[in-house]
Structure 1
Amino acid sequence: MTHVRIALVAVCGAVLFLSGCSGVDPGGSASAAGTGPSAASGSAPEFDGPWASTFSSMYERAGSDFERQVLSDGKVTDQEYAETLDRFTECLSAYGHYDIDFGDDGGFTFNSPKGSNDDEGVAQVEQCSKESGEGGINALYHWMKRNPENLDESTIMAACLVRKGAVDPSYSATDFDQNQAVEDFPYLSGHGRNDLVECSTDPLGLFE
């Protein structure tokens, strides 16, 4: 039996505050203002709002009708998110995984069947993520909660680190980009790494 921890969108090989599933950038800007999409007959929805381009990209890459249905109105409700996780859990259970525990950040842990290895478990997670729509829906649900207006990620991350006292007050978005590229930050305190993790989950302090 293997206990595996999967961070939010880890199955897409991405870091939450820099990139998204299927090559989608969570910082993608919208082409128009508004709150919902309109759909032309026989075509994909025309999304509006701060997250329009991300919804459009994920809709095009959706692996199921369920995922497209959830994404089609330009939002992910609590009920839709819960149903997605139920579908994902049911799919993993068919492989023998159990004790799936979802965190507040969208990441999760699970126990793999006895005799399996981590590579097998991750491959099954990727398959179930695609079949259930978990990858895109889970990511969008949490991205929109932590950054509703889709503000520039580097800017809000830098501001958050300054607010927590992790870096110098002059620290900028450019500094963040440079430090993130080499994974080396000029922390002023011993809790700087924890501050970075907290900022990646809640850069705007919306959950405090």
Structure 2
Amino acid sequence: MLSVSLGACSSKEASEPRSPYYSDIVTASRTADSDFEREVLSDGEVTRSEYEESVARYVKCANGQGVTINPVKQGDLYTYELGAGASAEKVADECSVGTTQKIEAFYGALVQNPTKGDMMQLIAACLSSSGLAPKGYDKAAFTADSESGSFPFDAEDPRFGECHLDPASH
């Protein structure tokens, strides 16, 4: 007698399409620098809580070596203020390996560019939709303006930085 067992797809697998970064993230898990990083990346996604945990591990690693790292929230991501000390940058670089280095890059891509679109076009569209750049401002104009360093708007305006940090939000 032959018995066949059919596995059912979970409702999540059936209803939610995978991110366009899925295969890149899974591939990165194979070269992970820590068990934590491998575990986070192995399912092909990076959640907010996994990102937060990677930042906490990064800070703890640096603190354990006498270096203070202060995460500063910038949109959905963090920038980092390093404490003083000759070895601070070296410790920060070393501690990022296996904690934030790969995880933060993928989480940033997922929140800043969830469709894996052309970043220059996304930034240009964000600048236009935010009202900073003229209507119809596009990738070609943004590229030319970036190369010349001359924009048809105030590049010191906070919307400029916001569009660079999170172009998908506008």
Q: Report TM bin, short chain.
A: 0.7 to 0.9
TM-score by length of 1: 0.63
1:147 and 2:147 correspond: no
Computed over aligned residues only, the root mean square deviation of the Cα atoms, in angstroms, reads: 2.5
C-alpha deviation, 1:197, in angstroms:
0.8
1:65 and 2:35 correspond: yes
Larger of the two Rg values belongs to structure = 2
1:87 and 2:51 correspond: no
1:165 and 2:131 correspond: yes
User: With CA pairs under 8 Å and 6+ residues apart, which has the higher RCO, 1 or 2?
Assistant: 1
User: CA 1:179 to 1:54, structure 2 compared with 1: closer, same or farther past 3 Å?
Assistant: farther
Q: Is the 8 A contact 2:59 2:69 kept in 1?
A: no
- Number of the residue aligned with 2:67: 97
- Number of the residue aligned with 1:20: none
- Given the alignment, which residue of 142, 148, 158 partners 1:176? 142
- Number of the residue aligned with 2:22: 52
**What amino acid is aligned across from residue 88 of structure 1 in structure 2?**
Y
User: CA 1:53 to 1:177, structure 2 compared with 1: closer, same or farther past 3 Å?
Assistant: farther
Distance 1:57 1:174 in 2: 33
- Given the alignment, which residue of 151, 162, 166 partners 1:198? 162
Q: Is the 8 A contact 1:106 1:139 kept in 2?
A: no
- Number of the residue aligned with 2:9: none
Higher helix share: 2
| Count of residue correspondences | 153
Q: Is the 8 A contact 1:106 1:142 kept in 2?
A: no
**What amino acid is aligned across from residue 122 of structure 2 in structure 1?**
I
Unaligned runs of 5+ in 2: 1-15
C-alpha deviation, 1:73, in angstroms:
0.6
SS in 2 for 1:204: helix
Q: Is the 8 A contact 1:64 1:131 kept in 2?
A: yes
State the percentage of identical aligned residues: 26
**What amino acid is aligned across from residue 100 of structure 1 in structure 2?**
N
Q: Is the 8 A contact 1:92 1:128 kept in 2?
A: yes
1:111 and 2:71 correspond: no
